[in-house]
Amino acid sequence: MNTLKFIFKEIAYSRYNFLLSIIAVTAGVGLFVAFFTATRASDRETKKIMLYLGQNLRIISNDTDMDFFYEQGYPDKEMPQQYFADFQNTNIFVYNHVSATLQKKIDWQDSKVIITGTSPEKPTKQKPMPTTYAIEPGTAHVGYQLAQKHQIKKGDTIEIDGLKLKVENTLARAPSEDRDNIRIFMDLTDAQKILNLPGKINEIKALECLCTIETPGGEIVEPEQLARDELKKILPQAQVLLSRGIADIRQKQRDMIIKYANFIMPTLCIVLGICLAVLAMLNVRQRQSEIGILRALGYGSCRISILLLGKFVVIGIVSAVAGFYAGTQTIMYYGPGIFKITAKAIQPDYSLLQTAIYAAVAFSIISAFIPVMLAISTDPAKTLKND
């Protein structure tokens, strides 16, 4: 009788043991496939969410002295105001808020003041009603420190380099390290007049900015790189800096999930491996007489090992297919509800099937190996004695 027929007859005979073994390995494979597919979906989702969360973009001139920028908090070089229009006219980016600013530190009445001119937000197709507060020309918002020092109140008029501005508001105290305490906010055109920089800006800020470009094949790329690549096309003389506060938190969450996976999957493998080993032990104990008689009939250890372990190869293959199907169906069913943004990208990954077969077969054999070897090494004479 050939080996396969032998194995399948034994499987049919000890079907409950076989079924329990199948369930144990299928559960492992199914969870692995579901978890792996979910992790990849989560990865896509996180990246998409990071895109959707948007980046806080700071667009500054290419030739900005970055030492100055990081020290002072604003760029030392200006860009044409046209850049702002170009940025707003492109439909590549959508954002919650965009503004152009012109900032420069000057001496004013024995104080260091950062003149900060801001442009009004242009209504767009996506955002017909700008949400940000626009500063009216001829008005100013005075930082806390300046207002305190110079006794400036709402309704006062201040004069900076000959330009009179009505104080619309004085700002609340910002955190001590924040430069807003020494800023005077005004309309961009007023700042350009004071600083004698007509038609110039030195920064574009886009908050919660989202790049709408779809990459070929729906591939998800790092949002930072995508934003840089797309901006280069429309503002070649500018550079972009990103602050990623929320995105970083998401990234940390994702890293945490991966850490959990790295703990859960090996633990699961150990538990299921023990279950399978116990089932293998029960099976080979029942087959001790069979092993003994096979030895008496001249079968070698190698042949008997193949007969015993062959069953676990079958268990591995059947469980891999069943587990792949179960895991895939589970994630296909529940995945779209969990990963709403990338729902369409959740597809069966058939490359996992091959991996699952190899892994499940190896897992089954490794789990059964010790019980099988113990059974084979048991003295057959003891088994065959009349007890």
| Residue 176 φ/ψ, nearest 5 degrees | -55, -35
* 12 binds another protein, rule: CB under 8 A: yes
- Site for another protein (CB under 8 A): which residue of 104, 141, 183, 295? 295
Q: Least Å distance between CB 291 and another protein?
A: 10
Q: Least Å distance between CB 16 and another protein?
A: 13
Compare residues 14 and 37 and give the one whose CB is closer to another protein.
Answer: 14
15 vs 287: CA distance, rounded Å: 14
- Site for another protein (CB under 8 A): which residue of 62, 267, 301, 347? 301
The pair of three-digit structure tokens given for residue 18, joined into one six-digit string: 């076989």
Residues 6 or more apart whose CB falls under 8 angstroms from that of 162 comprise none
- Site for another protein (CB under 8 A): which residue of 19, 159, 300, 340? 300
Q: Least Å distance between CB 365 and another protein?
A: 21
- Site for another protein (CB under 8 A): which residue of 25, 294, 322, 352? 294
205 vs 125: CA distance, rounded Å: 19
* 299 binds another protein, rule: CB under 8 A: yes
Compare residues 225 and 377 and give the one whose CB is closer to another protein.
Answer: 377
274: left (phi over 0), alpha (psi -120 to 50) or beta: alpha
* 378 binds another protein, rule: CB under 8 A: no
187 vs 164: CA distance, rounded Å: 12
- Site for another protein (CB under 8 A): which residue of 230, 290, 317, 345? 290
Nearest to 288 by CA among 350, 378, 226, 204: 378
* Exposure on the CB side of residue 88, measured as CA atoms within 13 A: 21
- Site for another protein (CB under 8 A): which residue of 9, 153, 252, 259? 9
* 292 binds another protein, rule: CB under 8 A: yes
166 vs 159: CA distance, rounded Å: 9
Q: Least Å distance between CB 7 and another protein?
A: 10
Q: Which stretch binds another protein (CB under 8 A): 58-66, 200-208, 269-277, 289-297?
A: 289-297
Q: Which stretch binds another protein (CB under 8 A): 125-133, 224-232, 298-306, 323-331?
A: 298-306
Q: Which stretch binds another protein (CB under 8 A): 22-30, 40-48, 188-196, 288-296?
A: 288-296
* 384 binds another protein, rule: CB under 8 A: yes
Compare residues 215 and 286 and give the one whose CB is closer to another protein.
Answer: 286
123 vs 130: CA distance, rounded Å: 6
How many Cβ atoms are within 10 Å of 369's Cβ, its own excluded?
16
Nearest to 103 by CA among 64, 158, 133: 64
The pair of three-digit structure tokens given for residue 131, joined into one six-digit string: 């949400």
* 134 binds another protein, rule: CB under 8 A: no
- Site for another protein (CB under 8 A): which residue of 296, 362, 370, 374? 296
Residue type, 225: Q
Compare residues 6 and 144 and give the one whose CB is closer to another protein.
Answer: 6
The radius of gyration of the chain from alpha carbons, rounded to an integer in Å, stands at: 35
Judge whether 198 and 222 are in contact, CB under 8 Å: no
How far is CA 234 from each of CA 85, 94, 130, 216, 229, rounded to the nearest angstrom?
11, 14, 23, 20, 9
- Site for another protein (CB under 8 A): which residue of 91, 253, 289, 347? 289
211 vs 220: CA distance, rounded Å: 12
* 298 binds another protein, rule: CB under 8 A: yes
* 10 binds another protein, rule: CB under 8 A: yes
Judge whether 327 and 30 are in contact, CB under 8 Å: yes
- Site for another protein (CB under 8 A): which residue of 151, 196, 377, 386? 386
Compare residues 41 and 309 and give the one whose CB is closer to another protein.
Answer: 309
Footprint on this chain of another protein (rule: CB under 8 A): 1, 6, 9-10, 12-14, 289-290, 292-301, 379-381, 384-386
